Structure 1
Amino acid sequence: MATTIESIREAVAGLKNLLPADFKPEIGIIGGSGLSALEDAVEQPKWEVPYGKIKGFPVSTVPGHAGKLVFGHVGSEKTMTVMMAGRAHYYEGHELQTATFPIRVLALLGMKTLIVTNAAGGLNSTYKVGDVVVLHDHINFAGLSGVNPLRGPNLDDFGPRFIALSDAYDLELRRAAHLAWKALSKDRPKQMAMHEGVYAFVGGPNYETRAECRMLSTLGADLVGMSTVPEIIVARHSGVRVLAMSLVTNAVVMDPGPRGDAILLAESNETELSDMLKEGKANHEEVLEASRNAAQEIKNLIVKIVEVEASKNR
């Protein structure tokens, strides 16, 4: 069902009834897979609203996504913030207009800046599990084939029919991320590194094949994942500034793998054949574990970014 301005306004009105009259979130944060712990960045007093209690909100069914809005203050400047603890995905059966409905609601609620996080597979061979990548561009495979959150009647109250995305990833916010990373260097595990890169959005829910990963890498993608890009498109259409960061939670397998004719010649047994294919195989438990291990560092980074931004507006 197409999203309408009336349905968005209805959800906004419902949320306003649950919040103090003077609370207007300037910053929005999306916690990716296993990163719902980022809600600890939001200080008391805070107000939590499960997605299921907001009319029109999609409810996530994926482990590692709590499924609630957390309103409160972040950082030394007490910036009014709303965090999405978890998100809905296209692969869960949601249309992209539905999956991105929360972005429209938060924009109408007052959000001016969106910080998006996700768990992603590292295509770039220099990336290590646990590294953070600030996105400066993306490849929208689903969108190129017509699966786009802006498909259908344009919501003129938010933005024009045709929008440019060459400036989707705010340069000033990216600079703030790097400054924040540098400021936190003394307290951060030395093995973690920050990069900038290109994210490829794919539909999922299956992880990519070896050949698909090689194709994505050849086309210029440094990361691959199943979220984020639709939210960014809608945020930009709504006039919201965007900073997006990926946590590398697994290194994808791009080696072509063993050939059947070569294996037959080697006379390997069934167990050995199975082990050959399992090497480097991705799984969601691995993603969640990597996210949990890095959650505290990501939380500290986001708080510092919010503080850097807030200090400019004193």
Structure 2
Amino acid sequence: MRALIVEKDADGATRAAVQEIDEGRLPESEVLVAIEYSTLNYKDGLCIGPGGGLVRNYPHVPGIDFAGSVERSSDPRYRPGDRVVLTGWRVGEAHWGGHAQKASVRADWLVPLPEGLTTRAAMAVGTAGLTAMLAVMALEDHGLVAGRGPVLVTGAAGGVGSVATAILSRLGHEVAAVTGRPEQADYLKGLGAARIVAREELSEVTRKPLESETWAGCVDAVAGAMLGRVLKQMKYGAPVAAVGLAGDAAIEGALITPFILRGVNLLGIDSVMQPYARRVAAWGRITRDLPMDRLEAMVVPATLADLPRLGAEILQGRVRGRVVVDVNA
């Protein structure tokens, strides 16, 4: 089998290359999956490159999600030929992941491939799309409905932002897409964004306790100064789903004022350890609420050999949409 193997030398430098390895090197677990497609996320870029503190042991196979068919299983829930999807559970970080032709994983980590969805489409969705759907569901749980005002999506040209933009637009929301790359405006409008907001409009730190009520909801992938600004601009009782920290792990310039004077809700979205039932519900919503024609517009096709280059590019913010990796090409 072929796999992208990341190795670390005595000086701490890492290098990644596609290698032919014996299947026996895979960790022992309950289900062996013949992978058809994987994808590339920001975490994968870290694991392919410097590690980012995510990788425990080398050599390592990254890839935090994959889709394929069961080859063998010691768990009665899965039989050979069953189509499955895996996202999260620290696969590709602490455990060997999906940038390979096969993976050996626990049955609890798998979800049946939703009916009507191909393995390629599932990886066009991937962890990023699942996270976006979980964010939308959380916003809805906290009162977001169409017609109450524009919904902001930060980091909109990235994987989570792209899918969130498409889903929210499909659900009837007016989407305001934030990007620092003006050349992506047509792409974002094609996904359903009603307007484009330049990153510079929200990146300045202010000490104002509140600003004009503007946004009915927000999916935020940036954090940092931008999230600090956005919180002050939320409408009364509006929810913000925090899905990432591309800008900073801190919320710069944030005050308690939006929470206690406007009842703003800041919701943390974790896709790694989500319970099985919530994952199944989110995948069901994806098949219903994510327009597949717009999903295809996000796809950047790739092979295992492309991943060292793309891993570096995603860390530099140079990857748009969803990279879908054909591990058998």
Relative contact order, higher structure (CA 8 A, sep 6+): 1
More helix, by proportion: 1
